[in-house]
Structures are given as C-alpha cells and as structure tokens.
Structure 1
Amino acid sequence: MTEPQSGLADRRTRASLRRLAAGEQRKRAMRLTEALREGLFRLRYLPRMRLGGARTGTVDRIEGAELWVGLPNRRRGLIPVAPLLRDLEKPALRGDMLRYTLDAAAEEVGRWPVDWRVAVPLPSRTLADGAVCDALLAALNRAGIGEGRVDLQIDESELVEGGMALHHAIATLRDRGVGVILEGFGAMFGSLALLPRLPLTGLKLDRRLAHALAPDDAADETILIRASVEIAHRLGVAVTIDGVETEAEMARIRRLGVDLVQGPWVGPAMSAEAIRARAHGLHEHGVA
C-alpha cells in the first residue's frame, strides 16, 4: 500500500471509531433518559464503619454509607449506573442525574441517625459544572436536612485533570458546608502533592490497596498508605479504605490509622429499608 493510501485508510479507521463512539453515546443517553423518565433506578447503600480503638476509647460504629445506583437488567439483575455515565458528552443529562441522585439521597438521609452521612459519587466532570452547588443545596433544602450530612465523591483522575475550575468548585462547596471526598486515591498517587492545596474533607483509598497490604510493614503499599494517612491527618482529612474483605485485612488497616472502612467485611450494598433496620438494631442492642 502506498503512503497516501495508508493515510487514507488511517483516516477512515479513525472516522469509523468516532461513529461507533458517537453511536454508543446516543444509546447510553437514551437508556438513562428513559430510566429517569420512568423512575427505573434502584438505590442501594454500602455501609461505612468508623474504627474505634483503645487510644481513642471508642468502639467500631456504623457512621453512614456510600450511595450506589443501579439499573434493572433482565439477564444481569442490577447493573451499576456509574459506568454508563463515564465520559458521557451530555452535560444536561449529567445534571439531571445529579439532581435525581441528590434528591433521593437527601430524602433518605433525613431518616437516618443524626450523625450519619451519605457519600454520593459524582459522574465524571460533573463537579466542575457550575450548576452543581445550586442543585445540591436545593436538594438538601427540599429534604429539610443540613449540608453537613452529605459528602460528594470525585475520582482522583478527575482531580489531576480538572484544573482550576474543579479546584474552585471544591472550595465553593466546602464554604457551604458540603464535604468533598477524593476517591480512588492510591491508584496513581499523582494527587498526593495536591492535598495541601485543596479543602478536601476525606480521602477514599483505592480498593486494590486493601488486598495488596502485606504483613510486612516495610512493603511498598503499606508505606504509601501510611504516608497518605499521616499527611491527610495533618490536614484534618479523614481516610476511608474500600474493599475490605477479611479480618486479617482489618487488623493491618487498624495499625495504619485508617479512619473508616467499607466493603464485604462491613456489609454488602443494601436497600434503604435494610440500612435503617440495621441502624435501629444496633441502637436497640446498645451497640454503636
């Protein structure tokens, strides 16, 4: 093939890939729009536990949950919505999803114990959108709860790429009493240097780190987690680790000073009714 012909083939291939991507975007947007219109989404909550200890004189206690949004599928049951929102080129649809999610989460949190919080993961690039603050505060006002009950979660990769618009949005939300958690932290550790410059309230360590922890305290993963926890605590930032599955993982995490944990060891994703019943049961038995 001559060079001009090769270049033409490359352009055709790229054009074909763009058409496929655009077609996939349209299908995802239509699916989400229909689900919003018909109220098909199902909300689940991943319980989050704050670790106690002899040093603080406290016991382990459930302190809220992370919101998980699913969409019913006949073959696969509930499928996560987050991947459908990833890189979606529809700002208006992302905004509609945000309003729906915040309304649903804020209404549920109003029924929880007063010291529980809900963490709401945000679709990619949503936080830099100027409508986020207004949508969030309006949802909280409609539910009649204070801003201090809700945390927004953004991905580490978005923080690194978001620029000044994202940093300004974080500062604005924090000024209004809304928590902002950086999730997926540790997948790259590219944002470690940014922590002192951002008014975050929490870090959520990447779930792979829970399984990578070795009994040896000198292991690379252990050193990185300990450094992240120390820096976060100096800045007044709470640290959560996701994906905890075993008692052995829990024991190693306790030694590192992590504040909160979630994952199968704490509890699976559950309905709003189930997590309220769990909170009531713990209260009835005098357990935090």
Structure 2
Amino acid sequence: MIQKLRQALATDGLALHFQPILSLSSGLARGAEAQLRLRHSRRGLIPIGHFLPMVEQSDVIIDVGGWMLRAACTQAAALPGNFSIALALSQRHLQSGKLVKQLLEALNAVNLNPDRLELLITEAMLLDENEDTIFALKAVRGLGVRLALDHFGAGYASLTPLKRLPFSTLRLDRSLTQSLSEGGTFTAITHAAVEAGHALGCIVLADGVESAVQYELLRQVKVDEAQGSFFGAPISGPELGAMFGAV
C-alpha cells in the first residue's frame, strides 16, 4: 500500500472528497471537511480509512499530507470567501518539521486567507506533550490557520487541550451524536460539552449526524455546526464547486 501511495503521488492517483459542514442556525453550508481517496483501477476511489493505519507508520504520510494541504487550499480558493476547508493532520506529519513550510507554500500558491483553512487535531496526539507538537501547533496558529480539537468524547474527553492551545472549534465525536437519541444522561453530557466549548470561545461541531431526530436534538443543546450522512455523502471537488462556488 505504501508503494501504491508513492506511485499515486507521482501519477495524480489521489483525490479529495468533501463532507459539507452546515450551520445549525441558518441551515446553510459554511465549509467542508476534506477526506482523502486513493484512485484504484478496479475498486474505484478507496477511502482513507482503509489504508491510513498502515500509512501513518511511514514517512510517506508527510508527502501525502503536503499534497492534501495543496489540494485543500486550491479547492478553498475556488469557493466563496466565507467558505472554509477542514483537514485532518497525522501525528507523524505534525512532528515532521515540514508542516509549517508546506502550509505556507500551499497558502501562498493560491493566495488563500489562512483563516479559511482549519486543521483537525485529536486529543491523543497531545497526550505525550511532545515539544515538537506544541511548537508546530503554535506556529500554525501564528500563521492564522485555525485549529480544531477532533473526536472529542471518543475517549479522554478532557478540556485541557482547549485551555493550553488556541483552538477555534470543538468537534464532538460521532459517538456523542449517536447517543443523543437515547436521551437522559447522554443528552446531558453532550449539553455539558457544548456549554464548556462555548465558555472557552469555541465553535462546537457535531460529527456523524444521521437522522432528523439527532439534528433536532443538536439544535436544542445549542450545537453550532454539524456534518454527517443526514446532509448527504461526501462529494468530489468539482461537485463542491458546482454546488457552492457560484456567488
């Protein structure tokens, strides 16, 4: 798989698909999360989840991450100025020492306002308090690029990272979203997470919205934004441009 990725980088064999992010107050899309796909001659586009664990053990993830930054910035530049693109980082890429340089090159290549790009970080990536990680994240924030704490509630569910680093968004894990319909304690936990995120100045986004019931409950607990299959499947760059590019 690693060799296939190296070939894909050299032969236009990678693609991004985009999961729209909607504002729950207006019902309008305000951005999208970029998700990597590998082009396969027989299987079509393979989602990143099928090969990511293996790839994260290799330095090829750094080159893949750089490609994703360039592709995401190029896509964002073709969309309205209020539309942003979110992109997940790997820990290996974050600690590589190459992230900031790649980020600057990607932004400058299309003259993109940095705050239209948001990088997703998981709490697990911050547990070892690696100095390279903290330095890189502060450098990224210094460029004006936004940071989001991803998969909140999947395991650790600590607000400490939000106090230590200038995150713009708290992204609730899909497990919290999907437990909402069970009511009671689960709704109270989600509500508490939303209030804590707002108290720390963060936008709160819910991932994994799959039903109208979940959508309405998220509105009731004052979640700001959401994404998930309820709003449609991830779409290609050209489809995203056709849907949201005209202003």
TM-score by length of 1: 0.79
Q: How many Å apart are 1:77 and its aligned residue?
A: 3.0
Asked if 1:186 is matched to 2:153, the reply is yes
Equivalent of 2:221 in 256, 260, 265: 256
Equivalent of 2:240 in 275, 278, 285: 275
Partner of 2:57: 89
Relative to 1, partners in 2 of residues 1:68 and 1:256: Cα closer, same or farther, differing over 3 Å?
same
Residue identity matched to 1:84: F
Q: How many Å apart are 1:89 and its aligned residue?
A: 3.2
Query: Per the alignment, in what secondary structure is the counterpart of residue 160 of structure 2?
Result: helix
TM-score by length of 2: 0.92
Instruction: Tell me, yes or no, if the aligned pair for 2:172 and 2:205 is still in contact at 8 Å.
Output: yes
> Over aligned residues, Cα RMSD in angstroms?
1.9
Per-residue CA distance 1:229-288 (angstroms, 9 max, x = gap): 11211111111111111111101001111111001112210011211222257x6xxxxx
Per-residue CA distance 1:117-136 (angstroms, 9 max, x = gap): 00011123322322111110
Question: Unaligned regions of 5+ residues in structure 2, if any?
Answer: none
Partner of 1:286: none
Instruction: Tell me, yes or no, if the aligned pair for 2:178 and 2:209 is still in contact at 8 Å.
Output: yes
Rg (Cα) greater in structure: 1
Structure 2: how far apart are the matches of 1:76 and 1:222?
A: 40
Partner of 2:4: 31
Relative to 1, partners in 2 of residues 1:162 and 1:85: Cα closer, same or farther, differing over 3 Å?
farther
Relative to 1, partners in 2 of residues 1:280 and 1:108: Cα closer, same or farther, differing over 3 Å?
closer
Partner of 2:180: 213
Q: How many Å apart are 1:165 and its aligned residue?
A: 2.6
Partner of 1:45: 18
Partner of 2:168: 201
Equivalent of 2:194 in 215, 229, 240: 229
Query: Per the alignment, in what secondary structure is the counterpart of residue 240 of structure 1?
Result: strand
State the identity %: 31
Residue identity matched to 1:65: A
